[in-house]
Amino acid sequence: MKDIVTILKDVGAIITDSHFVGTQGRHMPAYINKDALLLHTKYVSEVGKLFAEKFKNKNIEVVVAPAVAGIPFSQWTAHHLSKISRREVLSAFTEKTPENDQIFKRDYDAVVKNKRVLIVEDTTTAGSSVKKIIKTVKNAGGKIVGVCVMVNRDPKLVNTKSIGVPFSSLGVLKILSYEAKDCPLCKDRVPVNTKFGHGKKFLEEQKSKSNDHRQIQPKS
């Protein structure tokens, strides 16, 4: 079975030599385009199997991931864990609120109550989204066995200590990320990529801030 980085390379999901903005607004020189992976059910199944093999001895009862892109990973991981353990492992997901939280709907909070839960995610830049899922699972009474992502881009920034529960990844692909104010790509005036990631949103916010600043300038 292929390792995770090879799978991502095979489907063209690893993009380098550009200026990307992540979900939480951090800037980076490379990007993992999970949408390129999600097109291929064979490879998504393989990723789910990698997750399942890693946690096959942990008696997982429910796999949780964030909607929308995380749902296939949750389902395939639960599918392979069910095959390995010869008992049904359930798949659930959290959904984003207008306030950017991650919560259970569809009575999934009752599904995870008192269950051993594995949280899976594609990638994480700083861990903030994962922490929201952890909080929701704990509030629902779920017993978190671990959090596992496909790729950890910065092990020094994201780890068990920073996340607060056992944390691991299928692989490591080091991609440094920066706050916008500290971004060397911004300082070198490297154009922000608007095709992948959240670059378009970032530029729109910057334009809006610039317009607001001009509007409050005192008249001479």
**Domain range list for the chain:** 4-210
- Mean per-residue pLDDT of the chain: 93
pTM of the model: 0.85
124 φ, ψ (degrees, to nearest 5): -145, 140
Residue 178, both tokens: 């920066």
Identify the architecture of domain 4-210 in CATH: 3-Layer(aba) Sandwich (3.40)
* Percent of the chain's residues with pLDDT above 70: 96
Q: What is the DSSP letter of 192?
A: P
pLDDT over 60 at 83, yes or no: yes
Instruction: Sort residue 197 into left (φ over 0), alpha (ψ -120 to 50) or beta.
Output: left
Q: Using pLDDT thresholds of 50, 70 and 90, give the confidence band for residue 35.
A: very high
Quick one: pLDDT at residue 131? 95
Closest CA to 137 of 121, 150, 126: 121
| Chain segment 38-76, per-residue pLDDT in tens | 999 999 999 999 999 999 999 999 999 999 999 999 999
Whole-angstrom distance, CA of residue 178 vs CA of residue 175: 10
| Chain segment 138-188, per-residue pLDDT in tens | 999 999 999 999 999 889 889 999 999 999 999 999 888 899 999 999 999
In sign, the C-alpha dihedral spanning 203, 208, 209, 215 is positive
